[in-house]
Amino acid sequence: MDFQRTIAKEISFSGIGLHTGNKSNVTLKPAGVDTGIVFVRCDLPDSPRIKAAINFLSTVGNTPRRTTVESKGAQVQTIEHFMAALAGSGINNLEVELDNNEMPGLDGSSIKYMDIISQAGIRELGKARDYFSIKEQIRIEEGGAYIMVLPCDDFKISYTLDYNLVEQRREFIELNFSAPEVFKQEIAPARTFCLESEAKELQQQGLGLGANYENTLVLTKDGTVIKNKVRFCDEFVRHKILDLMGDLNLLGFGLKGHIIAFKSGHALNLKLVNAITKQREKYSMKKESGILEVTDIMKILPHREPFLFVDRIIKLEYGKHATGIKNVTINDYFFKGHFPGHPVMPGVIIIEAMAQVGGVMMLAPEENRGKLAFFMAINNVKFRKPVVPGDQLVLEVEAVKVKSKTGQVRGRALVEGKVVAEADLMFALVE
């Protein structure tokens, strides 16, 4: 089970931005479960917070050749190398305070970021990370370049670089990132690059103002690296994968799929991120409306009639809380034998209905799909009012603690806004 992570302690560093040339002082701070990666511009009034997420992306054309997030006019540019390092380190929750508009370039790769994270230490949080497995092929083409993703049980990238950097040269690499050390060993040290012929033009456009021969590989037409040496014979294609992984980290969840890219850059990468987000919304049990119908519930729970006691989920936040509906009718089978002259819904079935809502909350995430939730304990049960045919039970469940193998929830059942039953439930989550 892959749990969410943050850093163990606060750590600070400084550096010059590759494009703006601005110096930024950065402090990384631990953050709690489900925070995500949040940049905080502490140099600006009210210290605006900018989440590293697709809906905070700046228009690609406004800050070319880099990935930028912004909110209400506040920007953080060139986040891709840092975001790739977080992905490689398994850090999902972090506050990043900085006092300028660009992350430091450091050596032009992700390895120094990983070293800083290692110094801070990594702390595992008590909640599983969210994953999405690609269900159907996505392909995006533009100007002779393309990027696609196919269903796959692992996370793999195959990348072909062919920018005529040097005559008759093409680079290809394919890597499986299932093992955590692969990114650090094979990708993190790869530095950004450009052609000598384009370097001056880029600086005239206001780009690369913080670049130098140490943090950027500059190539002549014959393939010579000026005033530096490559760390890999195919360092350029490896850096393109680094950029891609940094951009993919804007998804906010882990990915299982095989990405195949040809000459893809930030613009195509980010279009893929958007397309994956839309596919996840399409296939996820957590719909935009927050509603799951009974057919969706049956994809999560193994229960079937006459032992499925939830008609609908009207609110759902994975691993946190859920609200379900059970419409109580005289046709429910248990009324045939439970006080048939004065039908009353059995209390144990009300508790079971609460438990099923809790099961949806815990089992809906991708990493828990297919598991079963078995009762371990029921505590603090109280029945306050009979439930009869014609009532609509509103079943509210809130997580107390959800781990990889156990879950504790607090549940309430209400009719017309009044509590009719409540209980604390504990489950074992098993394969």
- Separation CA 181–CA 237 (nearest Å): 19
Structure tokens at 120: 């801070």
338 as an active site residue: the answer is yes
Nearest by Cα to 216 from 198, 265, 184, 75: 198
Q: Are 308 and 356 in contact (CB under 8 A)?
A: yes
Could you say which of 258, 266, 321, 342 is catalytic? 266
What are the residue ranges of helices labelled H in 161-227?
A: 181-182, 196-204
- Separation CA 354–CA 376 (nearest Å): 15
Per the document, the length of the chain is 431
- Separation CA 221–CA 164 (nearest Å): 9
- As beta bridge partners, residue 408 has 401, 426
What's the DSSP call for residue 368?
G
Task: Compute how many other C-beta atoms are within 10 angstroms of the C-beta atom of residue 390.
Answer: 11
Query: Taking each helix axis from N to C terminus, what angle separates 235-248 and 266-283, rounded to the nearest 10 degrees?
Result: 40
C-alpha 207: how far from its chain's center?
30
| Catalytic (active-site) positions | 266, 338
